[in-house]
Structure 1
Amino acid sequence: MSHLVLIDAMNLIRRLYAVQERPYLPLPDQLTEATQQQIITNTVQAVEKALLAIIQHCEPTHLLLVFDSQQTTWRHQLYPEYKANRSPMPALLMQALPELQQRIQQLGIAIYQQDGFEADDIIASLAQKMRQHQQEVTVVSTDKGYCPLLDNGVRLYDHFRRTWLDDSYVQQKFGVSAKRLIRYWSLVGDSTNHIPGVAGIGPKTALELLQLGETFSDIIQHPDCPKAIRSKLTEHKADIQCFLQLFQPRTDLELGLNLQQLRYPVTEAANA
């Protein structure tokens, strides 16, 4: 059986870069050129070390490091406030990405990036195709946005905590199963993505509502749904539908990739 390991590249790299940059904050742009180069060198080495540790732990037959698009994505077009509170990528790291990507490829690891799409859409689409063929898939990331993939039999691994994440983890952390997680977030919102949810509905109320039905239509029509909440859900129906789309990783992307290209280590034939 094939085992495809999909790594959320910037989730990994930005965390490792932050460790190298931290001693020089808050003015990293005023550092000498030599110091800036040392930060990048240390980051490259840390990334290489992390990737080798992930490979040793997960034992992939196929491996892909997926980068986010640096351009506006469909989520920003759907909801302009999406991730509006996020800090931009540090300029020094942005400049170093081509060198970093080259070093990663020299390790025999394939990389991929597609304009207009975040890594989660690319990863979810590849994971879906692999699971349809009963192949093993592991996603390496600390981003909770991948947790809904657990419902499709995808495994999640947090490299920094050296921990496998499963449905019991989701249940303990959020109070719902992976299957209901997107609907839960669409109600309570998510500050990390700058998605507000429905005003006046907190975690406790959201959990109670999700017990009333599998869809929001079921919840609204349920006799135990309080009148005030029913009115609020009806009023914010369009917002909720928007939030559902934002939280749902795309699984329908046609990426033009085949397993031979993703074999680890990458062969010359795969690169031809």
Structure 2
Amino acid sequence: MTHLVLIDAMNLIRRLYAVQERPYLPLPDQLTENTRQQLIKNTSQAVDKALRTIIEQCQPSHLVLVFDSQQPTWRHQLYPDYKANRSPMPALLQQALPELQQHIRQLGIAIYQHEGYEADDIIASLALKMRQHQQEVTIVSTDKGYCTLLDSGVKLYDHFRRDYLDEAYVQQKFGVPSRRLIRYWSLVGDSTNHIPGVAGIGPKTALELLQLGDTFSEILQHPDCPKALHSKLTEHKADIQCFLQLFQPRTDLELGLNLQQLRYPNQEPAHAQN
């Protein structure tokens, strides 16, 4: 059976780089050129080791590292404050990305990037397309947003925990099944993405509301929906609809990829990029 492994590239690389950079904080921009080169070399070696470990663990027949767009995406257009609290990519890592990407290709691993879309949209589109054909799919990332895909049969692997994240993990961490995560986050918000949620609705209240229906329309129509919360949801309807879109990964992208381009090891010198 085909087994496609989709790696959230910057989720992996930025964490590995941060470990190498930590001893030089808070003044990484004042490093000597030799130290800067050593930092990147160490990062490259850490990426190499991590990829080999992931491959050994997941045993892919097809493999691709998916990179985020370097330009603002449709989410920024929809909600300008999206990820406004995120620290920018370190300048040294930004400069070294082409070199790191080249190293990854030399390992026989395909890479892919599509301007205007985050990695999660690309990964979700590839994952769902493969699942529609009953093929095995594993996503490698620590991004909790991918937990929303567990209901479709996708596997989610956290390389740093060395563990698979499943429905039991989601239920224990958030108190809801994966199919309700997007509605849950649209109510309580998500500080990592700078999405505020609905003021006055915390996790406990959100869980109580989500027990009343599978959609917000059902919740509002339920006789047990408290009047105060009914008014609050109605008042913030536009915001909630916006947050639902922000949390929902795109699964309909036409990427122009075929499985042969993603076979591991990859023999094609060119990487797929739009």
Q: Which TM class, normalised by the smaller chain length?
A: over 0.9
The whole-number CA distance in structure 2 between the counterparts of 1:251 and 1:84 is 24
The whole-number CA distance in structure 2 between the counterparts of 1:243 and 1:268 is 40
The equivalent residue for 1:234 is 234
Deviation, 1:200, is 0.3
Aligned pairs for 1:214-233 (under 5 A) are 214-233=214-233
- Any idea what the Cα deviations from partners look like across 1:56-113, whole Å, max 9, x if unmatched? 0000000000000010000000000000000000000000000000000000000000
Aligned pairs for 1:191-202 (under 5 A) are 191-202=191-202
- 8 Å contact 1:260–1:270 — kept in the other structure? no
Aligned pairs for 1:123-272 (under 5 A) are 123-268=123-268
Identity %: 84
The alignment partner of 2:71 has SS state of coil
The whole-number CA distance in structure 2 between the counterparts of 1:144 and 1:155 is 13
Gaps of 5+ in 2: none
TM-score by length of 1: 0.99
The alignment partner of 2:87 has SS state of coil
Aligned pairs for 1:75-94 (under 5 A) are 75-94=75-94
The alignment partner of 1:201 has SS state of coil
The whole-number CA distance in structure 2 between the counterparts of 1:217 and 1:93 is 46
The whole-number CA distance in structure 1 between the counterparts of 2:214 and 2:11 is 32
- 8 Å contact 1:21–1:39 — kept in the other structure? yes
The alignment partner of 1:63 has SS state of strand
Deviation, 1:270, is 8.3
Deviation, 1:179, is 0.5
The alignment partner of 1:53 has SS state of helix
Superposition RMSD in Å: 1.1
Deviation, 1:268, is 3.8
The whole-number CA distance in structure 1 between the counterparts of 2:212 and 2:171 is 18
The whole-number CA distance in structure 2 between the counterparts of 1:15 and 1:251 is 26
- 8 Å contact 1:8–1:120 — kept in the other structure? yes
- Any idea what the Cα deviations from partners look like across 1:107-130, whole Å, max 9, x if unmatched? 000000000000000000000100
Partner AA of 1:157 in structure 2:
Y
Aligned pairs for 1:99-118 (under 5 A) are 99-118=99-118
The whole-number CA distance in structure 2 between the counterparts of 1:70 and 1:249 is 18
* Aligned length, in residue pairs: 272
The equivalent residue for 1:50 is 50
- 8 Å contact 2:105–2:271 — kept in the other structure? no
The whole-number CA distance in structure 1 between the counterparts of 2:23 and 2:90 is 15
The whole-number CA distance in structure 2 between the counterparts of 1:65 and 1:268 is 15
The equivalent residue for 1:18 is 18
Partner AA of 1:22 in structure 2:
R
Gaps of 5+ in 1: none
- 8 Å contact 1:150–1:167 — kept in the other structure? yes
The alignment partner of 2:43 has SS state of helix
The whole-number CA distance in structure 1 between the counterparts of 2:218 and 2:103 is 52
Deviation, 1:50, is 0.2
TM-score by length of 2: 0.98
The whole-number CA distance in structure 1 between the counterparts of 2:258 and 2:270 is 9
The alignment partner of 1:213 has SS state of coil
The whole-number CA distance in structure 1 between the counterparts of 2:267 and 2:107 is 11
Deviation, 1:271, is 6.8
- 8 Å contact 2:219–2:225 — kept in the other structure? yes
The equivalent residue for 2:36 is 36
The whole-number CA distance in structure 2 between the counterparts of 1:167 and 1:267 is 36
Deviation, 1:267, is 2.1
Partner AA of 1:217 in structure 2:
S
